[in-house]
Structure 1
Amino acid sequence: MKYTYIIFIIFSFFDKGQAQSNHILWYNQPAEFFEESLVLGNGKMGATVFGGINSDKIYLNDITLWSGEPVDPYMNKYAYKNLPAIRDAFNKEDYKLAEELNKKIQGKNSESYAPLGTLLITHYNKGKATNYYRELDISKAISKVSYEVEGVKFTREYFVSAPDQIMIVKLTSSQKGALNFDVNFSSLLESNTVVKNNVLEMNGIAPMHENPGYVKNSETYLPAGYHPEIVPEKKEVIVKGTRFISLLKVKNIDGTVSFSNNTLELKNATDVVIYVSVATSFKGFDKDPSIDGIANSIAKKNLSKAFSISFDKLKKSHIADYQKFYNRVSLDLGNTKAPDLPTDERLLRYADGAEDKSLEILYFNYGRYLLISSSRTLGVPANLQGLWNPYLNPPWNSNYTMNINLEENYWLAENTNLSELHLPLLSFIKNLSVTGKVTAKTFYGVDKGWAAAHNSDIWAMSNPVGQFGKEDPMWACWPLAGAWLSTHIWEHYVFTQDKKYLEKEGYPLMKGAAEFCMNWLVTDKKGNLITAPSTSPENQYITPDGFVGATLYGGTADLAMIRECFDKTIKASKVLNIDADFRAQLERDLSRLHPYQIGQKGNLQEWYFDWEDKDPRHRHQSHLFGLFPGDHITPSKTPELALACKKALEIKGDETTGWSKGWRINLWARLWDGNRAYKMFRELLRYVDPDGKKTEKPRRGGGTYPNLFDAHPPFQIDGNFGGTAAVVEMLVQSNENEIRLLPALPDAWETGTIKGISARGGFELEMHWDKKRLSKLIISSKLGGKTTLIYGNQTKSILIKKGETQEILW
C-alpha cells in the first residue's frame, strides 16, 4: 500500500505538469507589445499589464473617458430634403448620381475613446533576472508576475475590483527590505501630476475634437481643438471636455516612502500594496462633462474607502464578485495530449494543426472573462476594444460600430449566462432612441420612431457619419442600426422571461425602431416594400456597365433586419397583449417586403439585382442576417434559402478578418455544419504576430494575438466575443418554442460536457455527450415553462415548473 501511494503521487505530479490549463494564460517573458499584455477590468476601470522586470508599465483606462460632449442631433436639419432627388435618380437607374447625392445625407463622425494614462513602476534591481513567470488567471481575474534576482524572489499581484472600484498591485520580496522602486503617472492627454497628502494625483482633460477620419492608430498623435467657452453666468472661462483623475497611494509595513519631482519613491521595503483609483466627470450622454465635474470626489471617496480595507479582504470580495458570473458556466471537451507550454507557444503549436482542447476551452472562457471585465457600466457598452485602449488616436476611434461590431460584442451575453452584462448595451439603446428621434426626422424625413446609423459613441450619436459629404456612402450611409439593436431587446426578454423589463423598457424601444422602418419603406415597381436609398454595410456592387458603387435600393441586408425587427416586435406585442392595430400593420408590411432572391450561382443575392460584388470575398456578410443572428432562415423552415446562404458563404471563402471569422462560425453552426464551423474556429485561433513586431516571416491576417486578443487586425474585441458565442451555437440552438441539442457538434469534440449555458424560453442546460452522442441532459427553468427538445430525429416535449430541474437520458 505504501508503494502504491508513492506511485500515485508521482503520476499525479506528472499529469499536473503535462496538462494544459483551460483558465490560465502564462508566459516566460514580459510583454513587449500591447498584443502580448494581460488585461484586467471591473467593467469601468481597465488595466493593461506588461509585467516588465525593471520597468513595469500599466496602461489605465476608464470606459467613460471619451473626446467631445453631448451631440447636437440637429447638425444637418434639412438633410432629408435630398431624398426625393436620390429616389428620382433610382427611377432613372442613374446609380452614379444616386451615390453622389447620398453623400448629402451625412453628418459628423463619432468621437474617440481616450486612453487615461500610464502607471510606471521602475525597480532598481541589480543583476540578471531568472525564473521569470507571468500569468492571468481568468477564473479569479488576477494577474501575477514572479522572478528572481541574485537569489531574491520578487512577486507582483494585480487585480481591478468591481465591489471596491479600485486597482490593486501588491509587490513582495523574499528578502527583507529588498523592494526599491519609483512610481509615477503619465498621460497622452493634457494632464499634470502633483502630490497631495501622500497621494500621487494626476488630473487631465480629454480633447473636444472628433477625428477627421479613420487614421492609423498612434501613440504620438497630439490632441488639438480644445475649445475654451465662456460661461456668462459664472463669468469665467471653462475649458470644455471630460475631466479625469487618477490617484495612487501605497500601504507598506516597512521601508520609507518619499516624493520628488511628482514621483513616489519607496526604499527598503518587503511588502507593499499600491491602491489606484480613477474617475471621470462623465455624468450621462446628454450632460456637459465640463461643468460641475465630479471626478475628484468619486476617485477620492473610492480610494479612502478601499485604503481602509486589508489586501486579503479586498481580494476575497473581488474574487467572490467576479466568480458569481464566471462560475456559472463550465466546458469540458475530454482528454487532451497537448504539452504544457506558454500561451504564445501553445498558439503557435495549435496553428500548425496540433490538438489542444484545453486551448479551445481557454479561448471560450476568455471571451466570457472579457465581457465580465468590460461590460458593467450602464449606458456605456464595451467598445471596439472592449475597455483597453493605449492609443490617443485608436483604430476606428474605438467607437461603437453598429453595422456588426457592437452587436457581435453581445452575442455571448445571453447564451453564456451573462444576461446582466447585456444591460450596458440595452440602456445605451435607450439613449440612442433619444437622439435617434431627431435623426429620423432630420436625416430621413420620418416623424415616427427613432433611427441610428453606422457609428456611435458615448454621447449616443445616431446620425449617419461621413463629415457632411466627404466620405464614402458604402460605410457612412446606413440607417438600420436601430432595427438590428432592437432584436437584442427581444433576445434579453426571451432568454430571461423578464416581462416587466419588456413592458417598461424594452417594448417601447422596439416599437420605436419598427415605426421608423415602417415609415422608411417605399413601394417598388412590383408593389413590394423596399428601402431607398439602401447600402449593404461596407460592400460594393458592380453594375452591368461597370459602375462600382454602394448606393442602391432594396438591399437584402436592410430587409432582413427589418424582417427580424418586425417579427420580434409583433411577438413582443402579443406577449404584452397590447397594440393590436399596430401589430396588424406590422404583419401586413412584413408580408409585403421584397422577397429574398437567389442568384444564378445559387447564392443568396446581396443586392436587389443579381450583380457582382466588387470583392466577392468581402468580410461583411450582412445579407445573411436572417440566418444569424436572425432566425427566420433555417435549414428546417426555409431549406432553399439556407442552401443559398451556404452557397454565399462558399463563394466568400473562409479567409477573412478576425471578427468576420467569428460571424461565419456562427453562420456555419446555424447551417448545422459542425466540421466547417470548427475549421473556422481553429482559424480564428491562428497565431498572429503583434502589430509592431518585426520578423523575417511575420504572421499576419485575421486570427489571435499572443495574449488571445482577436486580430482584425488590428485588435478588435468583437472576434473574441463572436468566437465564444459560436462555441455555444455549435452545441445548442433555441427559439421561443424549441431547443435543438448538439446541432453542429464537430467530430473533434467527440466527448464533452457543458454546464450552465442558457436557452431561449428561460431555460438553463447541462449536457453530457460521448462518441458524438448525447447521453444526458439536465434542464431547469427560471420561471417555469414548456419547450420541445430536438436531438437528431428525436423530439420530446417537456413542461418544467419554476425552479424545477429535470434529468433526461438519451
Structure 2
Amino acid sequence: MKRIAFLFAVSLGAVAVSAQTDPHLKLWYAKPAKAWEEALPLGNGKTGAMVFGGVKKERYQLNDNTLWSGFPDGGNNPNGPTVLPEVRKAVFDGDYIKAADLWKKMQGPYSARYLPLGNLLLEFPFADTLGTGYYRDLDLNNATATVRYTTGGVQYQRETFTSFPDKVMMVRLTANKGKQVSFTAALTSKLHYSVKATANNQLVLTGKAPKFVANRESEPQQVVYDEDPKGEGMNFVIYLYIKTEGGTVKQSGDQLSVTGADAVTIYLTEATSFNGFNRSPGKEGKDPNTEAKTNLDKVRILSWAQIKQRHVSDYQALFNRVKLNLGTNEDAVKLPTDDRLRRFADTKNDNQLQTLYYQFGRYLLIASSRPGSRPANLQGIWNDHVQPPWGSNYTTNINTEMNYWLAENTNLSECHQPLFDFMKELAVNGAVTAKVNYNIREGWVTHHNSDLWAKTSPPGGFEWDPKGMPRWSCWPMAGVWFSTHLWEHYLYTGDKKWLQSTGYPLMKGAAQFMLHWLIKDKTTPWLVTNPSTSPENTIKLNGKEYQVALASTMDMSLLRELFAAVIKTSTVLNTDAAFRKQVQEAYDQLYPYHIGQYGQLQEWYGDWDDPKDKHRHLSHLFGLYPGSQITVQQTPELAAAAKQSLIHRGDVSTGWSMAWKINWWARLQDGDHAYKILSDAFTYIDPNQTRETMGGGGTYPNLFDAHPPFQIDGNFGATAGITEMLLQSHAGYLSLLPALPTAWAAGSIKGIKARGNFMVDIQWKEGKLAVAKIISGSGGICRIKTTTPVKIVEVKANPVQGANANPLNIAYGKVVYEKNPQAKLVSIGKEGEYMMEFPTVKGKTYTIVNQ
C-alpha cells in the first residue's frame, strides 16, 4: 500500500484563512422570497437581517438580539419554602395529581418575548416585478447575500452583509450602465416608532418596545406599551446612511430618494437601551443613539471594499476551519436550492445538499452567537413576530443546549462564549431563586425557560396548555445541563485557566444547589429528585395522566453528568478536595438507571413507560447523548435499552427531536438509521401553506428547520449529528467513522475537533477509512478506535503544494518513520475494532494509515 503522510503547519487555535472557496456552498433561488421562511438570513451576532430579494420592492427584516419585551422580573415566590414540603409529601404519598396542583403555586410570570426590530424597505421605479435572469443567493463562503436581475435592458445587483468587526449592515447597489440606480428608502417597525429624514442623507428610526406581550397569538390586543419614553419597555433606534456615486439624494417626507446614481452604498447601524440583565431598560437603560451613531460615524468614512474585506476575513477565520465533502451530483447542484429540496424526497441522490445543510448550520451559529453577544435563542436572532412561537426565548429543557452542540466539535469554540456569559447572569439570579423559592442558600438554579433578563424562577402562563404547566415548569435542572457545557468546552480546548476562572465556579454552584435539592427516597436507599418531571411528557398509568412524580431518568442522568464533571474538574485543578468528596458520596447514591418490562430504558421512577407513546421529548436518553454515561462498548445493556426506547418513539417527529435522534443513532453506531432520519428531515415544507404546529419535521425553502414552525435548534442539532456520525470522542478515545452510512461511501472531512484538544481530518473510500490526520493541541496520550488495523505516522511540517495535494487539501510529505515505536495496540474488539494509543507532543501532526 502507498505510504502517505499529511502535513499541517498551523496551530489549532489560529487556523489560517484559506483563499479557496467551494462554489457549491451557496443557497440560491430563481425567484424572490414571498414568505419569511424563503428569505435568507444574515447576522453578526447582534444584528440579524432576512433578505427577501424583491425586484420592485426589497425588504430587509431586521432584528437586534437585545430587543425584548418587558423588564427584569424575577418572579420568585416567597411562599415557595412552605409549598415545597407539601409538594414532596404528595409525591411520596403517590398523589401525583395533588402534587401537580400544589406546584402551580410555585409558578410566577412567564418569560419575556424576543421582538422584531424593524424593516429596511427599498422601492425601485420599475414596471416589471420580476425581470429576467433573476438570481439570489446566500454565499456561505463569505456570508454575503446577492440579488441580480435584468429589467429595462439594465442588469442590477444588490450585495448585502452584516459585519461583526464593524457592527454594521452594508448594502451595495450597482448596475451595468451608468446613472441607473434610483430608489426610495424607508424604515418601519411593527412596534411603536417614528422616523426622521435628515439633510445629511440619513434616516433615523426611534422606537419603543412593549412592557408586556401576551402568551397567545390569538390575543393581539395583549401588547401593552408604557407611553413614558423613560418607562418600562426597551427603547431602540436604527440609523441609515446613504452614500452615492453620482446621482442625487433628497428627503421625501420620512424617506430618502436616490435618483440617477452609478452606485449606492447603504450603511445601517442599530442599538437598544439594554444595559444589562438586571437593569430596567427604561429607567436605567443606556441611550441607544450613542451606540448606533458612534458605530455609524466609525464606518461611514470607510469604503464598501474596506468594510467587506474586514468582514470576510473575520468570518472566514471561523468558517473555513472545516471542510466537508460527501460527493456532488452535478445535475442536482445546477438546480435552485428549493428545487433540490423538493427533489431530494424522491431521489435521495444529493449528498452535496447535506454538505450545504451541514455548513449552513455552522454559518448560522457564527451569524447568531459571537463573543460579546447574547446566546442564540429559539430562532437564533431572526424573528418577525411581536408574538413569536414560544416567545422565541430560551427554552432551556433542550432547545438552548442543542443550539451549542455543534460549537465544539465543528471547531467554533469561540461561538460558545455567549452561553457561558449568560450562565454567569443566571448564576446571579439563580442564587436568589434558590434562596427565595426553596430556602437553599448555596449555589444557583434555573428552570425550563429564560429570557434576556436571565429569568431563573419557575414560569407560569400559557393559558391554552390543556394539560397544565407543571409538566414543563416543574424542572429546576437547566443549570445542571448548562454546566455540562463547561466541562465539554474544557475537554475540547484544554484551557485550564478558563476552567479555573469560569468553568469550575459555575459548575460548583450548580452542584451545590443540587446537593441540597436531592432527598432520600422513602422506599429505596437512593437519593432522588422530588418533585420531578421528564420535560413536557406525562405519565400514562391506569387510565390516568400524571405530570409530576420523582426521580425521572433525565434528572438522574443530568446529575451523574454534572457530578462526574465536578469531580474530574476538582481533580484536574487539584482543588476543593472536601467538596469533591461530598459530591462523590452523593454521586454514589443517585437513583440508578432501570430497564423496563419492554426492554426499554425507563423514563420514570417506576416501570410506567407506554410503548405507544410517540412524544417528541425523549429526555431520558440524555445519558446516551449528549451525555457520556451510556455507550455501546462500556454499557451494552443500557445502550440496547436506549435503542428500544428509540424504536418505540419512532423516527419522524418535530424538527429538533429528529435532530436529537440523529445523534442518538450515531452514538448507537447505526449510521444508516441516523442517515434515514437526516433524510426524512429534508422533507420540503411550503411556508405559504398552513401546517399543523408540531405536525412533523421538515425543512423550509431557506433551509431553516421546520419544527414546525421554525426553530433553529434543528439546524444546529443536525449539524452536530453529522459530525457525530464521522467522529466521536466521548468514551475516552477517538472513534473514526463510528456511524458512517452506506450513502456516504466516499468522502472527507477536515478540521473537526475531538475531546483532548485534537483536530482531526478523515478521508474514507468504499465505506472504509483511508487515512486520517490528528493534530495535538495539548499533547498527552491519544487513543483511537478504528475498524481496520492501522499504523501511526509522525510527519515533518514540510508541505508540498500544487498538483500533488490530496483530497483533504493537505500536501504529501516525507515520512519520518513508518511505525511510531511508542504506539501500541491496546485491544481488538469482538467485531474487529482496533484500539491504538500513542503519546503526542503539542502542535505535532500524526497520520493514521491503513495497514
Aligned AA (1:82): V
Partner of 1:800: 840
SS in 2 for 1:146: strand
Matches within 5 A, 1:124-163: 124-127=125-128, 129-163=131-165
CA drift at 1:354: 2.8
2:656–2:713 contact (8 Å) kept in structure 1: yes
Q: 2:291 and 2:253 mapped to 1: Cα distance?
A: 26
SS in 1 for 2:784: strand
Partner of 1:304: 297
CA drift at 1:212: 3.6
Aligned AA (2:440): V
Q: 1:639 and 1:366 mapped to 2: Cα distance?
A: 35
1:123 paired with 2:124, answer yes
1:430 paired with 2:428, answer no
Sequence identity percentage: 47
Q: 1:777 and 1:646 mapped to 2: Cα distance?
A: 30
Moved more, 62-71 or 614-623: 614-623
Aligned AA (1:393): Q
The 1:409/1:123 distance shift into structure 2, 3 A limit, reads same
Aligned AA (2:112): E
1:472 paired with 2:469, answer yes
Q: 1:595 and 1:71 mapped to 2: Cα distance?
A: 37
Partner of 1:113: 114
Partner of 2:353: 359
Q: 1:604 and 1:213 mapped to 2: Cα distance?
A: 35
Q: 1:165 and 1:155 mapped to 2: Cα distance?
A: 23
CA drift at 1:715: 0.3
Matches within 5 A, 1:673-712: 673-690=670-687, 692-693=688-689, 701-712=696-707
1:277–1:300 contact (8 Å) kept in structure 2: yes
SS in 2 for 1:494: helix
Q: 1:20 and 1:505 mapped to 2: Cα distance?
A: 38
1:739–1:790 contact (8 Å) kept in structure 2: yes
SS in 2 for 1:83: helix
The 1:292/1:479 distance shift into structure 2, 3 A limit, reads closer
1:107–1:468 contact (8 Å) kept in structure 2: no
Matches within 5 A, 1:172-211: 172-196=174-198, 197-209=200-212, 211=213
Q: Which of 740, 754, 770 does residue 759 from structure 1 map onto?
A: 754
Q: 1:801 and 1:407 mapped to 2: Cα distance?
A: 33
Q: 1:222 and 1:547 mapped to 2: Cα distance?
A: 37
Task: Please give the per-residue CA displacement for 1:172-206, whole angstroms capped at 9, x wherever unaligned.
Answer: 12222222211101101111101233310001121
Q: 1:207 and 1:223 mapped to 2: Cα distance?
A: 10
CA drift at 1:240: 2.1
CA drift at 1:517: 1.2
Q: 1:317 and 1:89 mapped to 2: Cα distance?
A: 61
Q: 2:58 and 2:127 mapped to 1: Cα distance?
A: 16
SS in 2 for 1:80: helix
Partner of 1:391: 385
SS in 2 for 1:77: coil
Partner of 1:596: 593
Partner of 1:9: none
Q: Which of 64, 67, 74 does residue 65 from structure 1 map onto?
A: 67
1:320 paired with 2:313, answer yes
Partner of 1:232: none
Q: 1:707 and 1:734 mapped to 2: Cα distance?
A: 32
Task: Please give the per-residue CA displacement for 1:79-101, whole angstroms capped at 9, x wherever unaligned.
Answer: 13111111221232211111111
Gaps of 5+ in 2: 1-20, 788-832
Aligned alpha-carbon RMSD (Å): 2.0
1:662–1:681 contact (8 Å) kept in structure 2: yes
The 1:699/1:245 distance shift into structure 2, 3 A limit, reads closer
Q: 1:613 and 1:112 mapped to 2: Cα distance?
A: 35
Partner of 1:10: none
CA drift at 1:334: 2.9
Aligned AA (1:749): W
1:65–1:114 contact (8 Å) kept in structure 2: yes
Moved more, 481-490 or 331-340: 331-340
Aligned AA (1:383): N
Q: 2:342 and 2:258 mapped to 1: Cα distance?
A: 40
Task: Please give the per-residue CA displacement for 1:99-154, whole angstroms capped at 9, x wherever unaligned.
Answer: 11111121111001110001100011134611111111011000101111121111
2:625–2:663 contact (8 Å) kept in structure 1: yes
Partner of 2:103: 102
Matches within 5 A, 1:440-519: 440-467=434-461, 471-519=468-516
Q: 1:377 and 1:573 mapped to 2: Cα distance?
A: 27
Partner of 1:552: 549
1:756–1:764 contact (8 Å) kept in structure 2: yes
Q: 2:349 and 2:748 mapped to 1: Cα distance?
A: 18
SS in 2 for 1:352: helix
Q: 2:602 and 2:373 mapped to 1: Cα distance?
A: 36
Q: 1:264 and 1:277 mapped to 2: Cα distance?
A: 16
CA drift at 1:214: 4.6
SS in 1 for 2:535: coil
1:37 paired with 2:39, answer yes
Q: Which of 717, 721, 729 does residue 712 from structure 2 map onto?
A: 717
2:611–2:648 contact (8 Å) kept in structure 1: no
2:215–2:387 contact (8 Å) kept in structure 1: no
Q: 1:513 and 1:698 mapped to 2: Cα distance?
A: 34
Q: 2:614 and 2:391 mapped to 1: Cα distance?
A: 25
Q: 1:774 and 1:313 mapped to 2: Cα distance?
A: 44
Aligned AA (1:125): F
2:631–2:731 contact (8 Å) kept in structure 1: no
Partner of 1:16: none
2:528–2:590 contact (8 Å) kept in structure 1: yes
1:689–1:698 contact (8 Å) kept in structure 2: no
Gaps of 5+ in 1: 1-18, 230-236
1:247 paired with 2:239, answer yes
Q: 1:131 and 1:39 mapped to 2: Cα distance?
A: 22
Partner of 1:381: 375
Q: 2:612 and 2:99 mapped to 1: Cα distance?
A: 21
Q: Which of 566, 569, 590 does residue 566 from structure 2 map onto?
A: 569
Moved more, 677-686 or 75-84: 75-84
Aligned AA (2:417): L
Moved more, 502-511 or 352-361: 352-361
Task: Please give the per-residue CA displacement for 1:233-274, whole angstroms capped at 9, x wherever unaligned.
Answer: xxxx83222211101111111111101220111111221111
Aligned AA (1:754): I
Partner of 1:11: none
Matches within 5 A, 1:162-173: 162-173=164-175
The 1:194/1:614 distance shift into structure 2, 3 A limit, reads farther
1:378–1:425 contact (8 Å) kept in structure 2: no
Task: Please give the per-residue CA displacement for 1:405-455, whole angstroms capped at 9, x wherever unaligned.
Answer: 000000000000000000000110111011001111222332211111000
Q: Which of 567, 583, 590 does residue 580 from structure 2 map onto?
A: 583
Aligned AA (2:318): F
SS in 1 for 2:146: strand
Aligned AA (1:397): G
Aligned AA (1:224): V
Q: Which of 724, 737, 742 does residue 737 from structure 2 map onto?
A: 742
Q: Which of 231, 246, 261 does residue 253 from structure 2 map onto?
A: 261
Task: Please give the per-residue CA displacement for 1:545-593, whole angstroms capped at 9, x wherever unaligned.
Answer: x221210011111111111111111111111011111111211111111
Q: 1:113 and 1:754 mapped to 2: Cα distance?
A: 36
Aligned AA (1:499): K
TM-score by length of 1: 0.93
Task: Please give the per-residue CA displacement for 1:253-309, whole angstroms capped at 9, x wherever unaligned.
Answer: 111110122011111122111111111111211123223523111111111111101
